[in-house]
Amino acid sequence: MSGIDISEDLFTRSWVFIRGVPAMKFLPPEGPPEVAFAGRSNVGKSSLINSLTGQKGLARTSNTPGRTQELNYFVPDGFSGETGDIPPMALVDMPGYGYAQAPKEQVEKWTKLVFDYLRGRATLKRVYVLIDARHGVKKNDEEVFSLLDKAAVSYQIVLTKTDKIKAAGVPRLIDETLAKIRKRPAAFPAVLATSSEKGAGLEELRTAILLAANGG
């Protein structure tokens, strides 16, 4: 692959945006392992990616739900993938789902792109499904869980914005979430709790991502 291991120091490097993918034909060539981030619109995906990489402006953040309309690819700086310099791994920010105010045609287009990607990407090692700690698992989250189960794509639940609820409620929310996924075949049997604003849980998530990229 490349001369750089998928190791802990990967997140100390600078990361760059390399490509927005509006349709499957624009996907980068399959090469490095990929981990993707999914979640309802405005769940905090972009903020979490920025916090994971220590770069505030890497992924675009917005208070407007539905802004991310493509599969956005990020890799460590120095690896474009265009000239054979294959990066050790890639992070993929997926379009948010569940934004009812978007035009129906646009929602269907985003949904097809995401679902086609999940079913057809051999280098996709894990999807991290983000759940807003203030709202918990909703019906459209469970629909995504079912899709991932059907596609046999490994996924792990990540609670976001845990600083917005009482600290005592976090363990209870983790237990409730685990109960919802206990019988789901593709769900990773652990739930991570994070806060992009406070930095909570980021090291645990980085470790999980590295393990997944390495086939763990």
pLDDT tens by residue, 195-216: 999 999 999 999 999 999 988 7
Determine the topology of domain 8-213 in CATH.
Rossmann fold (3.40.50)
Nearest Cα residue to 189 out of 177, 205, 201: 177
Q: pTM of this prediction?
A: 0.90
- One-letter identity of residue 48: L
Calculate mean pLDDT across residues 169-177: 97
Q: In the beta sheet, which residues pair with residue 20?
A: 72
Q: Cα(26)–Cα(19) distance, rounded to whole angstroms? A: 9
* Residue 177 pLDDT > 50: yes
- One-letter identity of residue 104: K
The pLDDT value recorded for residue 61 is 63
Binned at pLDDT 50, 70 and 90, residue 112 comes out as: confident
Q: Cα(71)–Cα(68) distance, rounded to whole angstroms? A: 8
Nearest Cα residue to 212 out of 2, 37, 58: 37
Q: Cα(115)–Cα(190) distance, rounded to whole angstroms? A: 24
Q: Where are the domains of the chain?
A: 8-213
Asked if 181 and 187 touch (Cβ cutoff 8 Å), the reply is yes
Binned at pLDDT 50, 70 and 90, residue 159 comes out as: very high
The pLDDT value recorded for residue 7 is 66
* Residue 65 pLDDT > 80: no
pLDDT tens by residue, 2-50: 334 566 688 888 999 988 998 889 998 888 999 999 999 889 998 999 9
